[in-house]
Amino acid sequence: MNTDGTAHTGTANTDDDWTDRTVLVTGAEGFIGSTLVDLLVARGARVRALVHYKPYGEKGHLAHHLADPDGRVEMWAGDVRDAGRVNDAVAGCDTVFHLAALIGIPYSYASPGAYVQTNVTGTQNIAEACRRHGVRRLVHTSTSEVYGTALTVPISEEHPLQPQSPYSASKIGADMTALSFHHAFELPVTVVRPFNTYGPRQSARAVIPTILAQLHAGAREVRLGSLAPTRDFTYVTDTAEGFLAVARCERAVGEVVNLGTGEEISIGDLARELIAASGREAEVVVDPARLRPSGSEVQRLLSDNSRARAWAGWQPRVPLREGLRRTSEWVADNIALFAPDRYQV
């Protein structure tokens, strides 16, 4: 009970000082991962960035850190499926943010086994290494896709899990693996469940950059799959801030925490907002090649973010229209990264 007589709702640690902590980020080159690395470096952390090995050595969204004279970002090439490499990467780390995953729902229809190997076995390797080396906290990344089509809204962390695609099934398996290490071995793990994150650096496989790439390439028709599903979109810096907030929240140990805005928009309405944000003129057209199997399409996602707010003191700060404007500008400036006339699975 608080001193004013009200109920105590959480035990968030307000210490946001990451100075000289050694932090591992898996999937560090990715959209959310690289944004998280930027935030950690800005707050003084030393980041070990586990990135997928590429023989040509390109560093993608982390390239700008290579010029840092303090060397705050250490690049580690590896694969979460390799238990030995994961063990070496985790050694000596204070906190581990596990974002590495095989993502993308359409490709999971073609190669479901690859999703199990990377997402489930990879998470087991991370959890085992964190247990062996006694890390202070493992923050494991889930996805709102594990909920499937909403049975009740807003979707709380108690909502049933529904594997409506091989991708979501693999993430459910990964979540349960991470939590099992808490229950069985007292590993201090928190499962963070972002809803639909968007913003600069996102790849063409996601709906917002798909739409914007078509618009900025001059398309007069925006080709999409189903327009009816609704999603809860969170700007990428808000999601990354949520990771940091949960990492310092003791109440979240052994728990799942949603990160979403608590607001939804249909894909059709989203497309119209993006047309306005881009300053272009276009009409929206349904492309049958982009439709998911009927039993696999998630019709509605809307988050209940009350745990994140009450336990960790987190709240989203970037309104949707502002976030779409920023993202539109980034896609326009980086249109060479996209192939707007090709459907990216």
- Residue 10: the pLDDT is 45
Q: Is residue 239 part of a domain?
A: yes
59 and 188 part of one domain: yes
Reported for 131-134, long-range contacts at CB under 8 A and 24+ positions apart, including other chains, are 131/181, 131/185, 131/187, 132/87, 132/90, 133/87, 133/90, 133/91, 133/92, 133/93
- Residue 57: the pLDDT is 64
pLDDT in tens, 209-247: 989 999 999 999 888 888 889 999 999 999 999 999 999
Catalytic residue among 107, 115, 147, 167: 167
Domain total of the chain: 2
Domain that holds residue 328: 207-230+263-302+318-337
Q: Is residue 128 part of a domain?
A: yes
Mean pLDDT, range 276-289, rounded to an integer: 90
Alpha carbons 161 and 182: distance in angstroms, whole number = 19
271 and 192 part of one domain: no
Length of the chain, please?
A: 345
Q: What is the CATH number of the domain that holds 212?
A: 3.90.25.10
66 and 111 part of one domain: yes
Helices 166-185 and 122-133: crossing angle in degrees, nearest 10, is 20
Q: What is the CATH number of the domain that holds 90?
A: 3.40.50.720
pLDDT in tens, 121-146: 999 999 999 999 999 999 999 999 99
73 and 146 part of one domain: yes
127 and 161 part of one domain: yes
Give the residue ranges of DSSP H helices in 56-161: 83-90, 105-110, 112-115, 122-133
Chain centroid offset of residue 220 CA: 31
| 279 Rama class: left (phi>0) / alpha (psi -120 to 50) / beta | left
142 and 49 part of one domain: yes
Alpha carbons 194 and 172: distance in angstroms, whole number = 14
Active site residue 56: no
